[in-house]
């Protein structure tokens, strides 16, 4: 069973809506990451955190924001969704510089 959880798995929303994608991990990892991925394409880092109250923007510009109030929780928020935000969003965590553990992703469609 996965140790990193993303909710929801699928989401269809209207343009202009505010949404929050949830990501939680039970492994006690300090480092957490959000990637955006179009189907079959490469992963683009949009946000990361090295611990509580630490958040940084990634390599791909994103209109989303994140917060890290608790170690286990790293939610991503879109204040006003647009069709260009349609994509898959993958959350990951890492322990001590080894490979990531990924969640199953949230597939977002903005209509």
Q: Which residues bind other proteins (CB under 8 A)?
A: 31, 35, 40-43, 45, 48, 50, 58, 90, 92, 94, 97-105, 107
- The DSSP string of 48-106 is EEEETTEEEE-SS--S-EE--SBTTB--EEESS--GGG-EEEEEEEESTTS--EE---E
Q: Which is nearer to other proteins, 46 or 110 (CB)?
A: 46
Q: Which is nearer to other proteins, 35 or 110 (CB)?
A: 35
- Shortest distance in whole angstroms from residue 111 CB to other proteins: 20
């Amino acid at each position: 069973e996965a140790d990193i959880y993303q909710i929801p798995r699928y989401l269809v929303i209207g343009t202009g809506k505010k949404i929050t994608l949830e990501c939680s991990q039970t492994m006690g990892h300090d480092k957490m990451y959000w990637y955006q991925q179009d189907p079959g394409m490469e992963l683009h880092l949009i946000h990361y955190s090295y611990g509580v109250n630490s958040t940084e923007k990634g390599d791909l510009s994103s209109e989303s924001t994140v917060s890290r109030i608790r170690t286990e929780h790293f939610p991503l928020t879109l204040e006003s969704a647009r069709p260009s935000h349609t994509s898959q969003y993958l959350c990951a965590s890492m322990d001590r510089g080894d490979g990531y553990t990924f969640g199953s992703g949230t597939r977002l469609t903005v209509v």
